[in-house]
Amino acid sequence: MRCNALLALIFVLPSMPSVAQPAPIFGLAIHGGAGTITRATMSEEKENAYRAALTEALNAGYKLLKAGGSSLDAVAAAIVVMEDSPLFNAGRGAAFNAGGQIELDAAIMDGRTQKAGAVSAIRTAKNPILVARAVMDRTGHVMLTAEGAEAFARAQGFEVMSHEYFFTPNRWESLKKEQERIRNNRPESESTEERKHGTVGAVALDQAGNLAAGTSTGGYTNKMAGRVGDSPVIGAGTYAANDACAVSATGHGESFMRLVVAHEIASRMRYSGLSLKDAAHDTVMNKLKAIDASGGVIAIDARGNVAMPFNTEGMYRGQVGADGEFKVEIYR
């Protein structure tokens, strides 16, 4: 009897409510360069091409993050898509230096371990961001440059390409126009100033709470051979730390190096208690503008908040979070 009564009591007791699992938090933001980008200078066909490429890059990283992949893998995947596109000044679409050569820079940083890898002034690697990742993962160094970086890329089995792969008619035309402008002593216009802002980058937060940042560039049109900008310089154009944020920059590289922009944003969060939005906005809109420097950044913090301030006419950019909503923008 006692057993039957106990069973009856169990059946009539209300079932315990199930504990809802918290929704995963993750996010990704990308940029494809900043500058004089307006609807007046953009055809509908070209705008659609940029939006499609940015969406493809976002999707490459998003799929990894949604499946529980790492922020490092998501950042690299998104950047590879943009490096492979002739639309962006990185990888295949890189600008030509004054000697008509391609020189590629890239960096990636792990917010969890503070490890980083970078390459500069390489000419044949199809995807510099992957070589930078290998420098971080497979060596005790942070940056390899020029011939040493080239040799490392070949030794590690990375795909190398001929000069013809990197030749894009519009970049070559930009070089010729810039050199003609200099020969004729004409001042820079807004269109020629845009040549200094070509970069691609990505920042991500994964479901484990780890941040990562990466940046890749071809420098700018008609730069001196051997010039290296902020993109591969840790703390200037690329930075990530789990206790603050992940940042990738695009703009006038020399200025971003002087102000150590990416690290500056993280420091303002750490030591001044600023939010990501306020730290990024003040750095880009005030500190950079105070030295007449143009450009922008993308940044993400450990809560998945994203900031994308820029002080130029436009910046190719996009973001996606755990909700799967893709946002791609170009103009101010």
Q: How many CA atoms lie within 13 A of 68 on its CB side?
A: 0
Residue 6 belongs to some domain of the structure: no
d(CA 161, CA 168): 14
Strands 143-145 and 104-110: unpaired
Place of tokens 């930075």: 239
Share of the chain above pLDDT 70, in %: 91
pTM surpassing 0.75? Answer: yes
d(CA 277, CA 269): 10
99: CATH: 3.60.20.30
Q: What is the pLDDT of residue 10?
A: 44
Residue 319 belongs to some domain of the structure: yes
Residue 35 belongs to some domain of the structure: yes
pLDDT tens, residue by residue, 39-93: 888 999 999 999 999 999 999 999 999 999 999 999 999 999 999 999 999 999 9
pLDDT tens, residue by residue, 205-228: 999 999 999 999 999 999 999 999
Statement: residue 96 has pLDDT above 70: yes
Range of the domain at 317: 27-331
Residue 135 belongs to some domain of the structure: yes
d(CA 59, CA 125): 24
Query: First-to-last CA distance in the chain?
Result: 77
Model confidence band, residue 9 (pLDDT cutoffs 50, 70, 90):
very low
Catalytic positions, written as ranges: 199
CB count within 10 Å of CB 178 equals 20
Contact 122, 153 (CB under 8 A): yes
Residues 6+ apart with CB under 8 A from 44: none
Residue 17 belongs to some domain of the structure: no
How many structural domains is the chain composed of? Answer: 1
Structure tokens at 91: 């990888």
pLDDT tens, residue by residue, 106-147: 999 999 999 999 999 999 999 999 999 999 999 999 999 999
Residue 15 belongs to some domain of the structure: no
Residue 13 belongs to some domain of the structure: no
Residue 4 belongs to some domain of the structure: no
